[in-house]
A and B are shown apart, each in its own frame.
Chain A
Amino acid sequence: MKAGSNLEKVLEKGLFAVTGELGPPEGNDVSVVKRKADLLRGYVDAVNVTDNQTAIVRMSSLAASALVVQMGLEPIMHMVTRDRNRIAIQSDIFGATALGIKNMLCMSGVHHTFGNQVDAKNVHDLDSIQLIDCVRTLRDQGTLLGGDEKIEGKVDLLIGAVMNPFADPFEFQAVRLAKKIRAGADFIQTYPIYDMERFKEWMKMVRDRGLDKKVYILVTLCPLGSEEMIHCMEKDFPRTAVPDEIVNRIVKSENSAIEGVKLCVDQIREIREIEGIHGIHLINMGWTEITRQIIEMGGLFPRPKI
C-alpha cells in the first residue's frame, strides 16, 4: 500500500471506484463545505477537493480537505502548479499529510487569466509531470525534490494525475499518459467525456501500450442538466467536446434535468463495459445534490466498506 487510503483499497481490490467532487467556497464559509460533504458521504469512495479551479480564488484545497477529513469523508487534495513554487508545494504536502490527507491530484491548472485575479504573477515553477515526480520523491525516497537530507516524517500519498483524451495532438496523449506513469502517477482522472467513440479510440491506444495495467483509470462524467451547464462545461474545460447529438438531446428534451441524468447513467453503463477502466469520477459543476441519484441509478450504491 502506498498510502492506505480508502480509494487505494477499493482500487487494489479491483472494485469499481466512485469519486465525487467538492468545490470549496469563494471565501471561508465552512457551512458550504459541510453541506457538500453531507451530500456525498457514503456515496463516494473519496472526494476531489478542487484547488482554485479555473483560477477563481477559493478556500485552499489543503484547508478544505482537512475539514473534509474532520467531517468523516476521504478527500483527494488537488494541487495546481500555477500558483505555488516547489517550496510552497512541498511545505503544503507536509501539512496536508500531517492533517490526514492521503490522496493528491497533480495538475498544472488552467491559466490564471481565466480567473478573477488576472494581474497575478504566474508561477509554474514545476509542470504537472515534475510535480508528480516531486510527490513520488517525497514519498518513496523521503527527501525533497533534488535533495539529499531525509525529511522529518513520512509522506504517504496516493498520487493522481489528469488526462484529457481529447487534447491535441491526439496521437501524443498515450505517450503523455506513459510519461505521467513513469513520473509516479498511481491513478488518473480524465477530463469529462461525452464523445464515447473518440474516448474508446484513446482507450485502445492506452491498452495497446499496456498502460491500463500500470495505472488506475477513472473516467470523469458530469450530468448536463441545462443549456447553461453545457456552456459552463465548455468554458471550464476548454477542450471538452460535447457532441451535437448530446447537446440536442438535452436542449430539446421536455425536461433537461431528467434527460441529463438519464444520459449520465447511460454513460456509466457504457463506461463499465470498456476494458481497462477502474472507476468513475462524478463531477457536478455545482449541482452536488444530483450525485446521489446518479450513483444509485447507476447501480453503484452502496459503496464498499473495507
Chain B
Amino acid sequence: MLDFDPKIIAFCCDQSGYPAADTAGTLKLKLPKNVEIVRVPCAGCIETIYLLKALEKGADGVLVFACYEENCQFLRGNLRAKGRLSYAHRMLEKIGLEKERIEICHLATNSGAKLVETLRRKSEQLKKMGPNPGKL
C-alpha cells in the first residue's frame, strides 16, 4: 500500500452536494487532502465522459454527490447520473480498472458530515487500491 494522497474529483450538485460541502465548512469539518470539488447545477449534467476523463487526466477516484432518488429538482437528473455511472462502471470493469473508483452518493443539503465521511472513506479505499493505473 503506497503512501499517497489519492486525487478525488467530487462532482457536487447545486441542490444537495454543494450546499452540503458548505455545511461541512461551517461545521469546520476537514476534507481529506487532494479533493477537488466541481460544482454542477444538477447531477444530470454530468456526462459520462467527465467521469472517464477525470480518471484519464489524473484522478484516482471520482465521487458524484447527488440528491436522493425522489428529490431531484429537475425530476430525473440523478437517475440519469446513475445510468451514466453504470456505463462508466462497465467500461472500467472491461478495461481492468476497479469500478469502485467511481461512485455516487445521495444526500441532502445539510448532510455536511455525510459528505466528509464519504470522502474520507473513499480516500482510505483508494489508498488501499493504489493509484489509478489508467491515468495518462
- A and B, direct touch (CB closer than 8 Å): no
Interface residues of A (CB under 8 A from B): none
Interface residues of B, Cβ cutoff 8 Å to A: none
